[in-house]
């Protein structure tokens, strides 16, 4: 085999990253679930024969980072190396060997070139339904959460397992969409495989050994250099959150050593009775993501660049829940992990990490149905509508937080006009929430107000997936807390942050989604920035005067400028 | 074509970031001029360019029968935030749609990410109590008194321009029209744009952003276009003036003044039309156009001699050209991918010891190190120079001597020393990385459009494209490359090839099971009348072609595919059959048992395309040889080879030059790799064909015989 030049190896690394991006694009293009095609809740990657991940597409889901990196090794073990054949396609939705809940389906395809097995393509997507109780927090065990697909062959040497498809169809609410998505997952691996074969032929290669070693060696070295540049040390962090019925606490110890960073979750709350538990793969993914953002953001994800981050947790804690704990909403705890890790990391690397933000995506699912038989006869219908929405992100050491922007998740919201076409729902309001960003030298990002109702003739249940109701995002270095989540009906009746709840006919759900926390004391904020926040309506006149000491004369001047359509002049 | 007398000249004028290109075609000849863009009064460069081409042609401006103009002025105003004092009026509850965007981060790993600011700050966004539902019915009627009160506020704040964007207005524009009427009663001189006219499509973020962008540039573009028309008249060019639009057609001056957002990216659209015209000359149905300048490269798919179009694109990307970091504009556009890869793109080594190129560019000041204007960092042009692709003495027709020592110094310091490579290998690395970046962009663009590039022909233009096109073809598995004459002013030439056209679109969701023939007929008739009346305002007589497309998908999918239904009467079975055939072509198989829906309806009216004179078939080929030679690095071999040096003028029709060689012209150099051959076609295009190890002339003759 020819020895490749460094320039060729550099080109091939770029090519592999481009191949997995194409793989992800093909999935978006052919998928059915809105979570995949609108919001980008998916991932895709290429692996060597040993199952080590060489490249992963950058998509909206950090939660798949480490989980995907580990998944293929499970497939090799369960299928057995001797049973891997050209034309095979493997599948699972095992929360512990895939990406953390039954709603994520992972498909792995071995890649053969000139008769030899050269590697794997894998991809994951969040599907609209897997049966059981439906997507929500209410299950008491994973058995209630839906259909479990163990690691198995979806296709054996090119032949699709028809009984498997019948079984899936018979157990879920949206069989066409989900089976369509499974085929889309298989198609996207095929697209990756075809491009890979093209690359191997172009460079006259038999396999991925040489390029794989080059990628892993350079990534390992770059990651180790990034870690070596840090001061060694150890610090602890913690975070309290709402939980389902009782609060949960996350505890973490972060150790920066010469050649690795260790994160241990000992002391965190035990497993919760409801579906907010997190399998270890998902906790690892978000701990790792938090560290990578802070320490080595430029280094692509692969087995070697992830290896120096060692994440551990005692079994049967909420971040290492074992089968059969319910895990459908594992994202709520998972999305709080970066803020927990940053609580510790801030003590080790001051001036690097942001204040706490809204954290978990503020999602809900509405199950809409006719209000009466008369309404049904008049055309009212059933529909399931899922929405992803975001609070504010935490203020940064030199920048305000971002308004209504997801962190750590990176998925997109759905346009409200598209949501209203998906089912008889009306979004009456989706707008920034003033005064929700924590005060500070740098202000937290704003959360949002939403008002959700059904079209006349319909009623609905809302499956709430909110946190930060009783535990607002905490400010850093004297910055103020972000505003907490509020949920109630428009008649003032209280509602719970999590769980399925009925909304009476004609009523609307009023949501106030949380703001990010502030960074540094409010007294340090540039006065011009405060006046600008006031003019933009990010803060109220009351807050401007109470938190920042803005005078009545200054407030009056801002109001005069506003009537002329002007902002206060800077400086 | 289209009503002008045959003897009258046609003038194309393209205002770009650096140069304003003017082209005059008259009496079967073409004259061109490049003038520096005059930012303070952009029409001045056009007048200057017009004087020059008229003088070259020996005519006065009175000989011009038609002027077609494209410009980046609207784009630049959006990028640089130099628009009018503008307000947005929207539905209560939705004041912040243009600020909240998609609520996501376009770069996942940057903790200090800064989101681009909305075009209008929050204090310039106003709301009204009203609401239309997703079924088009009014949920809350709009009270005229509310609008009158708001008009008072707008007047007091002295806005020049107002955008109106209400929820679901694409289904029922009544409320938006009422707002406009009341505003104009109160302020007759106000510029008002309403989203149901500017971009009547579902998805509030894209629609609101588009109407805001239109309002933002409208007063400025209106003034500019009026001034341009007056100045051209003063010069004696008293002829109709038309504007190139982003969709690849031309529109009237009045239409452009009303909908200036449609002028965004009109220059690159001209380039795509130019490539489509070359494709027509050669009867090519699958073409990749490749336009590489100083800062960016633009890549576009051209199928059946028509550039691929799209209904939404992004302008003013704020973060390394990253998808999602700009503003979405939903109008009919020629769909192209633009990446930060040009002759001026700068190279560096990152933390993984990987060579990275772009998107930062050396621009024209200081420019690449070899310009000797103070640039110390290596640009792609420096690497091209070190590899022998450019001749230091012959650059820009010899008018500008390049400093190869400065290139060597810059490449060595930034790349070679850090990676332990000699200068040549480092330069090779830079060029390979930028070529790979462009190839990757082309591959992803192709896959997003369900296309496989093998079997495509590349058409390359723009100053830097001919230096890189040969290698790009090797990487993409493309066998055939055309470099047309006049490539440096390709967009302006493209303007002269564009038809008058207008696409009218509506977002109306309809499942095939609910397909109602009468409703569809009415909808299509309405769209056709909108599209044709627009084109008729440009040309009252020319025969019109009408194309009807519907965007279809399986219910539940997010991506539609466009289906041409021009030739079929509206009927469920016909529509279904066309959709299933196209879907199976793209994705191997159809999906059983699912309903199909139509999301967008589009009718395009257009005058006939300029008929391209076909390139003549090649006769016998005779090899052309030269004693002039220089060392040129061959990236496929990874080593320098001795390449012949030809002047473009030497390559007469029927002569074939075997690669490796370079073909030098004033504006650029064409690099012909080993294993390829170049010949000149009857229309002046240089055609380069890859033929592997076969002896060159025979292989070329065999492959070109089909053309």
Contact B440 A15 (CB under 8 A): yes
Contact A396 B432 (CB under 8 A): no
Is A326 within 8 Å of A376 (Cβ atoms)?
Answer: no
Contact B443 A22 (CB under 8 A): yes
- The sign of the torsion formed by the CA atoms of A343, A349, A355, A358 equals negative
Query: Do B413 and B514 have their domain in common?
Result: no
Query: Do B206 and B85 have their domain in common?
Result: yes
Mean of per-residue pLDDT scores for chain B: 88
Best residue in B85, B156, B352 to probe A by mutation, most A CBs within 10 Å? B352
Q: Is residue B545 part of a domain?
A: yes
Query: CA B247, CA B308: separation in Å to the nearest integer?
Result: 10
Residue A320 is predicted with a pLDDT of 98
What angle is formed at CA A328 by the lines to CA A324 and CA A334, rounded to 5 degrees? 100
Query: CA B620, CA B615: separation in Å to the nearest integer?
Result: 15
Q: Is residue B180 part of a domain?
A: yes
What angle is formed at CA A205 by the lines to CA A203 and CA A206, rounded to 5 degrees? 160
Instruction: For residue B509, give the H/E element and its range.
Output: strand B501-511
| Contact pairs from chain A to chain B, CB under 8 Å | 215
Question: Structural domain of residue B698, as residue ranges?
Answer: 622-706
From A127, which residue of chain B is nearest by alpha-carbon distance?
B556
Return the DSSP state at A382. -
Residue that terminates a domain, selected from B407, B432, B457: B432
Which whole number is the average pLDDT over B284-295?
A: 90
Contact status of B355 with chain A (Cβ, < 8 Å): yes
Judge whether residue B696 has pLDDT over 50. Answer: no
Query: Do B590 and B636 have their domain in common?
Result: no
Contact A565 B353 (CB under 8 A): no
Please determine, for the modelled complex, whether the ipTM score is greater than 0.90: yes
Is A356 within 8 Å of A341 (Cβ atoms)?
Answer: no
Residue that terminates a domain, selected from B175, B201, B221: B221
Chain centroid to CA B306: 13
**What is the 3-state secondary structure of A126-190?**
ECCCCCCCCCCCCCCCHHHHCCCCCCEEEEECCEECHHHHHHHHHHCCCHHHHHHHHHHHHHHHH
What is the least distance, in Å, from the CA of B251 to any CA of chain A? 31
What is the least distance, in Å, from the CA of A329 to any CA of chain B? 20
Residue B656: strand pairing partners = B623, B679
Is A161 within 8 Å of A124 (Cβ atoms)?
Answer: no
Query: Do B24 and B99 have their domain in common?
Result: no
What is the least distance, in Å, from the CA of A431 to any CA of chain B? 5
Query: Do B173 and B112 have their domain in common?
Result: yes
DSSP string, A519-565: BS-GGGS-HHHHHHHHHHTSS-HHHHHHHH---HHHHHHHHHHHHTT
B95 closest CB neighbour out of A399, A428, A431 = A431
Q: How many CB atoms lie within 10 A of CB B349?
A: 17
Query: Do B595 and B636 have their domain in common?
Result: no
Q: Is residue B310 part of a domain?
A: no
Which residues of chain B does A202 touch, with a Cβ-Cβ cutoff of 8 Å?
A: 475
Is B278 within 8 Å of B484 (Cβ atoms)?
Answer: yes
Distance of CA A179 to CAs A30, A131, A189, Å?
Answer: 12, 13, 16
Q: How many CB atoms lie within 10 A of CB A135?
A: 26
Contact status of B528 with chain A (Cβ, < 8 Å): no
Name the least confident of A95-109, B291-305, B448-462.
B448-462
Which whole number is the average pLDDT over B688-694?
A: 73
Residue that terminates a domain, selected from B396, B417, B432: B432
Query: CA A557, CA A567: separation in Å to the nearest integer?
Result: 10
Report pLDDT digits (tens) over A509-523: 999 999 999 999 999
B104 closest CB neighbour out of A14, A25, A60 = A60
Query: Do B595 and B642 have their domain in common?
Result: no
Is A444 within 8 Å of A437 (Cβ atoms)?
Answer: yes
Contact B159 A353 (CB under 8 A): no
Residue B438 is predicted with a pLDDT of 92
Q: Which two tokens stand for residue B108?
A: 């996942």
Q: Which two tokens stand for residue A1?
A: 């085999």
Residues 6+ apart with CB under 8 A from A78: A97, A150, A151
Contact A25 B157 (CB under 8 A): no
Q: Read off φ and ψ for residue B30, nearest 5 degrees.
A: -125, 135
Name the least confident of B4-8, B57-61, B92-96.
B4-8
A218 closest CB neighbour out of B204, B352, B591 = B352
What is chain B's alpha carbon radius of gyration, rounded to the nearest angstrom? Answer: 26
Return the DSSP state at B324. T
Q: Is residue B617 part of a domain?
A: no
B203 closest CB neighbour out of A6, A415, A538 = A415
Best residue in A175, A383, A431, A451 to probe B by mutation, most B CBs within 10 Å? A431
Q: Is residue B483 part of a domain?
A: no
Query: CA A317, CA A330: separation in Å to the nearest integer?
Result: 13
Q: Read off φ and ψ for residue B46, nearest 5 degrees.
A: -65, -45
B111 closest CB neighbour out of A183, A294, A566 = A294
Is A307 within 8 Å of A255 (Cβ atoms)?
Answer: no
Q: Which two tokens stand for residue B482?
A: 């055309």
Query: CA B423, CA B383: separation in Å to the nearest integer?
Result: 9
Return the DSSP state at A136. S
Residue A90 is predicted with a pLDDT of 98
Contact status of A223 with chain B (Cβ, < 8 Å): no
Number of residues that make up chain B: 707
Number of residues that make up chain A: 571
Which residues of chain A does B443 touch, with a Cβ-Cβ cutoff of 8 Å?
A: 18, 22, 195
Chain centroid to CA A219: 24
Quickly state the pLDDT bin for B705 (edges 50, 70, 90). Answer: very low
Residue B448 is predicted with a pLDDT of 66
Residue A60 is predicted with a pLDDT of 67
Contact B111 A297 (CB under 8 A): yes
Q: Is residue B457 part of a domain?
A: no
Quickly state the pLDDT bin for B18 (edges 50, 70, 90). Answer: low
From A25, which residue of chain B is nearest by alpha-carbon distance?
B448
Query: CA A182, CA A267: separation in Å to the nearest integer?
Result: 39
Name the least confident of A436-445, B385-394, B439-448, B644-653.
B439-448
Q: To which residue do tokens 């830079």 refer?
A: B430
Dihedral, CA of residue B448, residue B452, residue B458 and residue B463, to nearest 10: 30
Judge whether residue B588 has pLDDT over 80. Answer: no
Which whole number is the average pLDDT over B195-210?
A: 93
Contact status of A401 with chain B (Cβ, < 8 Å): no
Which residues of chain A does B420 touch, with a Cβ-Cβ cutoff of 8 Å?
A: none
Quickly state the pLDDT bin for B365 (edges 50, 70, 90). Answer: low
Contact status of A204 with chain B (Cβ, < 8 Å): no
Residue B640: strand pairing partners = B633
Query: Do B680 and B567 have their domain in common?
Result: no
What is the least distance, in Å, from the CA of B304 to any CA of chain A? 23
Q: Which residues of B, range 544-573, sit inside 8 Å of A by Cβ?
A: 554, 556-559
Judge whether residue B616 has pLDDT over 60. Answer: yes
Query: Do B540 and B651 have their domain in common?
Result: no
| Angular region, A399: left φ>0, alpha ψ -120 to 50, beta rest | beta
Contact status of B93 with chain A (Cβ, < 8 Å): yes
Instruction: For residue B56, give the H/E element and its range.
Output: helix B43-57
Cis peptide before B660 (omega within 30 of 0): yes
Q: How many CB atoms lie within 10 A of CB B627?
A: 6
Contact B352 A404 (CB under 8 A): no
Pick the more confident residue, B661 or B588: B661
Judge whether residue B706 has pLDDT over 60. Answer: no
Burial-class residue A120 by CB neighbours within 10 Å (0-12, 13-18, 19+): buried
Query: CA A253, CA A265: separation in Å to the nearest integer?
Result: 7
Contact status of A177 with chain B (Cβ, < 8 Å): yes
Q: Is residue B71 part of a domain?
A: no
Instruction: For residue B475, give the H/E element and its range.
Output: helix B465-476
Strand order in the sheet with B19-26: B29-36, B19-26, B9-15, B64-71, B241-244, B250-252
Contact B436 A14 (CB under 8 A): yes
Q: How many CB atoms lie within 10 A of CB A357?
A: 33
Contact status of B440 with chain A (Cβ, < 8 Å): yes
Contact status of A18 with chain B (Cβ, < 8 Å): yes
Query: CA A18, CA A479: separation in Å to the nearest integer?
Result: 41
Best residue in A453, A533, A565 to probe B by mutation, most B CBs within 10 Å? A565
Q: Read off φ and ψ for residue A534, nearest 5 degrees.
A: -65, -45
Contact B203 A418 (CB under 8 A): yes
Residue A10 is predicted with a pLDDT of 80
B351 closest CB neighbour out of A62, A299, A354 = A299
Tell me which residues of chain A have a pLDDT lower than 70: 1-4, 60, 65-66, 569-571
Quickly state the pLDDT bin for B665 (edges 50, 70, 90). Answer: confident
Q: For residue A172, which of A132, A230, A112 has the smallest C-alpha distance?
A: A132
Residues 6+ apart with CB under 8 A from A377: none
Q: What percent of chain B has pLDDT over 90?
A: 58
A410 closest CB neighbour out of B105, B111, B157 = B105
Quickly state the pLDDT bin for B593 (edges 50, 70, 90). Answer: low
Contact B168 A11 (CB under 8 A): no
Which residues of chain A does B558 touch, with a Cβ-Cβ cutoff of 8 Å?
A: 28, 31, 34, 37-38
Distance of CA B70 to CAs B233, B610, B657, Å?
Answer: 18, 18, 37
pTM: 0.89
Q: Is residue B453 part of a domain?
A: no
Residue A286 is predicted with a pLDDT of 94
Which residues of chain B does A37 touch, with a Cβ-Cβ cutoff of 8 Å?
A: 557-559
B444 closest CB neighbour out of A7, A18, A417 = A18
Q: Which two tokens stand for residue B375?
A: 């640039």
Q: Which residues of A, range 49-78, sit inside 8 Å of B by Cβ?
A: 58, 60, 62
Query: Do B48 and B88 have their domain in common?
Result: no
Dihedral, CA of residue B411, residue B412, residue B414 and residue B420, to nearest 10: 130
Instruction: For residue B551, give the H/E element and its range.
Output: strand B544-554
Contact A177 B429 (CB under 8 A): no
Contact status of B159 with chain A (Cβ, < 8 Å): yes
Residue A481 is predicted with a pLDDT of 98
What is the least distance, in Å, from the CA of A447 to any CA of chain B? 10
Contact status of A230 with chain B (Cβ, < 8 Å): no
Which residues of chain B does A186 touch, with a Cβ-Cβ cutoff of 8 Å?
A: none
Contact A537 B156 (CB under 8 A): no
Q: Give chain B's domain count.
A: 5
What is chain A's alpha carbon radius of gyration, rounded to the nearest angstrom? Answer: 25
Contact A7 B429 (CB under 8 A): yes
Query: Do B631 and B583 have their domain in common?
Result: no
Contact A565 B158 (CB under 8 A): yes
| Angular region, A512: left φ>0, alpha ψ -120 to 50, beta rest | beta
What angle is formed at CA B70 by the lines to CA B64 and CA B73, rounded to 5 degrees? 130
Query: CA A303, CA A120: separation in Å to the nearest integer?
Result: 14
Query: Do B149 and B88 have their domain in common?
Result: yes
Q: For residue A391, which of B560, B91, B534, B100 has the smallest C-alpha distance?
A: B100
Report pLDDT digits (tens) over B263-289: 988 888 999 999 999 999 999 999 999
Is B60 within 8 Å of B21 (Cβ atoms)?
Answer: no
């Amino acid at each position: 085999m020819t020895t490749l030049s460094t320039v060729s190896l550099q080109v091939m690394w770029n090519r592999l990253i481009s191949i997995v991006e194409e793989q992800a694009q093909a999935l978006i293009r052919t998928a059915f679930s809105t979570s995949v095609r609108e919001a980008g809740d998916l991932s895709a990657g290429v692996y060597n024969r040993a199952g080590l991940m060489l490249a992963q597409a950058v998509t909206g889901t950090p939660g798949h980072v480490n989980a995907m990196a580990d998944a293929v090794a499970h497939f090799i073990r369960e299928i057995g190396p001797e049973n891997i054949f050209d034309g095979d396609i493997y599948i699972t939705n095992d929360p512990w060997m895939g990406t953390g809940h039954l709603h994520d389906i992972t498909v792995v395809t071995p890649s053969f070139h000139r008769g030899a097995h050269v590697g794997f393509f894998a991809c994951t997507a969040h599907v609209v339904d897997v049966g059981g109780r439906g997507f929500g927090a209410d299950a008491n065990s994973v058995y209630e959460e839906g259909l479990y697909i163990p690691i198995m062959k979806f296709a054996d040497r090119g032949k699709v397992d028809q009984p498997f498809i019948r079984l899936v169809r018979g157990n879920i609410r949206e069989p066409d969409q989900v089976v369509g998505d499974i085929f889309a997952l298989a198609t996207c691996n095929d697209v990756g495989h075809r491009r890979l074969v093209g690359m191997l032929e172009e460079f006259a290669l038999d396999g991925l050994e040489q390029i794989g070693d080059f990628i892993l060696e350079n990534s390992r070295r770059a990651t180790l250099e990034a870690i070596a540049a840090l001061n060694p040390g150890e610090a602890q962090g913690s975070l309290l959150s709402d939980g389902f019925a009782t609060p949960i606490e996350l505890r973490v110890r972060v150790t920066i050593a010469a050649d690795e960073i260790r994160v241990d979750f000992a002391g965190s709350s035990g497993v919760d009775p409801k579906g907010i538990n997190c399998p270890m793969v998902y906790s690892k993914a978000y701990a790792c993501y938090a560290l990578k953002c802070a320490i080595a953001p430029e280094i692509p994800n692969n087995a070697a660049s992830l290896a120096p981050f060692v994440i551990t947790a005692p079994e049967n804690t909420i971040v290492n829940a074992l089968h059969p704990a319910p895990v459908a909403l594992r994202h709520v705890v998972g999305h709080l992990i970066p803020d927990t890790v940053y609580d510790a990391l801030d003590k080790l690397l001051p001036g690097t990490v942001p204040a706490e933000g809204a954290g978990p995506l503020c999602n809900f699912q509405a199950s809409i149905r006719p209000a009466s038989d008369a309404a049904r006869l008049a055309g009212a219908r059933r529909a399931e509508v899922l929405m992803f929405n975001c609070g504010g992100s935490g203020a940064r050491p030199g920048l305000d937080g971002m308004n209504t922007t997801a962190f750590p998740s990176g998925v997109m919201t759905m346009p409200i006009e598209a949501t209203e076409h998906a089912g008889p729902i009306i979004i009456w309001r989706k707008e920034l929430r003033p005064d929700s960003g924590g005060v500070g030298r740098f202000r937290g990002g704003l959360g949002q107000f939403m008002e959700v109702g059904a079209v006349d003739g319909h009623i609905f249940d809302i499956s709430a997936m909110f946190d930060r109701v009783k535990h607002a995002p905490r400010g850093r270095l004297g910055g103020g807390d972000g505003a907490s989540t509020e949920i109630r009906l428009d008649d003032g009746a209280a509602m719970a942050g999590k769980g399925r709840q009925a909304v009476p006919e004609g009523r609307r759900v009023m949501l106030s989604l949380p703001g990010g926390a502030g960074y540094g004391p409010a007294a340090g904020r540039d006065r011009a920035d405060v006046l600008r926040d006031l003019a933009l309506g990010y803060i109220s006149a009351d807050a401007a005067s109470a938190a920042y000491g803005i005078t009545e004369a200054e407030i009056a001047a801002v109001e005069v400028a506003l009537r002329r359509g002007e902002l206060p002049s800077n400086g | 074509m289209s009503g002008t007398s045959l003897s009258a000249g046609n003038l194309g004028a393209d205002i770009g970031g650096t140069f304003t290109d003017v082209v005059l075609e008259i009496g079967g000849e073409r004259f061109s001029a490049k003038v520096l863009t005059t930012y303070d009064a952009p029409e001045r460069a056009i007048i200057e360019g017009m004087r020059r081409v008229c003088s070259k042609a020996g005519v006065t401006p009175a000989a011009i029968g038609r002027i077609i103009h494209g410009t980046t002025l609207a784009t630049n105003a959006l990028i640089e935030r130099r628009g009018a004092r503008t307000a947005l009026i929207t539905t209560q509850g939705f004041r912040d749609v243009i600020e909240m965007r998609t609520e996501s981060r376009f770069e996942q790993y940057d903790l200090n990410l800064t989101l681009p600011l909305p075009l209008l700050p929050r204090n310039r966004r106003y709301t009204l109590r009203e609401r239309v539902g997703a079924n088009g019915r009014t949920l809350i009627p709009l009270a005229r008194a509310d609008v009158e009160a708001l008009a008072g506020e707008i007047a007091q704040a002295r806005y020049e321009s107002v955008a109106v964007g209400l929820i679901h207005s694409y289904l029922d524009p009544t409320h938006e029209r009422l707002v406009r009427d009341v505003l104009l009663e109160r302020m007759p001189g106000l510029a008002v744009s309403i989203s149901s006219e500017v971009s009547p499509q579902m998805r509030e973020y894209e629609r609101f952003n588009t109407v805001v962008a239109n309002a933002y540039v409208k007063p400025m573009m209106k003034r500019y276009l009026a001034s341009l028309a007056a100045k051209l008249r003063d010069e004696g060019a008293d002829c109709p003036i038309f504007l190139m639009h982003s969709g690849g057609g031309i529109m009237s001056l009045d239409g452009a003044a009303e909908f200036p957002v449609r002028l965004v990216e009109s220059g690159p659209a001209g380039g795509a039309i130019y490539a489509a015209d070359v494709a027509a000359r050669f009867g090519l149905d699958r073409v990749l156009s490749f336009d590489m300048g100083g800062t960016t490269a633009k890549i576009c798919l051209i199928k059946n001699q028509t550039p691929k179009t799209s209904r939404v694109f992004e302008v003013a990307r704020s973060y390394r050209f990253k998808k999602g970091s700009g503003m979405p504009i939903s109008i009919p556009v020629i769909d192209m991918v633009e990446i930060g890869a040009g002759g001026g793109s700068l190279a560096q080594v990152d933390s993984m010891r990987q060579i990275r190129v772009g998107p930062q560019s050396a621009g024209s000041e200081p420019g690449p190190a070899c310009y000797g204007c103070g640039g110390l960092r290596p640009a792609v042009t420096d690497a091209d120079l070190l590899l022998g692709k450019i001749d230091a003495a012959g650059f820009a027709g010899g008018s500008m001597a390049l400093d190869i020592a400065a290139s060597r110094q810059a490449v060595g310091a930034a790349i070679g020393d850090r990676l332990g490579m000699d200068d040549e290998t480092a330069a090779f690395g830079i060029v390979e990385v930028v070529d790979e970046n462009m190839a990757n962009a082309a591959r992803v663009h192709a896959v997003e459009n369900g296309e496989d590039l093998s079997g495509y022909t590349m058409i390359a233009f723009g100053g830097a494209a001919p230096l890189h096109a040969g290698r790009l073809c090797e990487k993409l598995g493309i066998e055939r490359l055309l470099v047309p004459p006049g490539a440096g002013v390709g967009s302006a030439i493209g303007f002269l090839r564009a038809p008058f056209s207008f696409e009218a679109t509506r977002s109306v969701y309809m499942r095939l099971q609910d397909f109602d023939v009468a409703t569809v007929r009415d909808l299509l008739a309405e769209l056709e009348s909108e599209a044709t009346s627009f084109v008729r305002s440009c040309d009252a007589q020319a025969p019109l072609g009408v194309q009807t497309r519907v965007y279809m998908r399986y219910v539940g999918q997010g991506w539609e595919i466009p289906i041409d239904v021009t030739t079929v009467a509206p009927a469920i079975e016909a529509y279904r059959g066309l959709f299933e055939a196209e879907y199976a072509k793209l994705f191997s198989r159809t999906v059983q048992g699912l309903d199909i829906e139509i999301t967008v309806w589009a009718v395009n009216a257009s005058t006939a395309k300029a008929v391209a004179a076909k390139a003549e078939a090649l006769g016998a080929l005779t090899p052309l040889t030269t004693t002039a030679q220089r060392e040129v690095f061959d990236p496929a071999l990874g080593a320098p080879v001795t390449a012949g040096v030809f002047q473009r003028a030497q390559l007469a029709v029927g002569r074939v030059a075997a690669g490796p060689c370079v073909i030098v012209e004033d504006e650029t150099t064409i690099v012909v790799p080993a294993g390829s051959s170049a010949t000149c076609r009857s229309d002046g295009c240089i055609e380069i064909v890859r033929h592997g190890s076969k002896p060159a002339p025979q292989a070329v003759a065999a492959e070109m015989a089909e053309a």
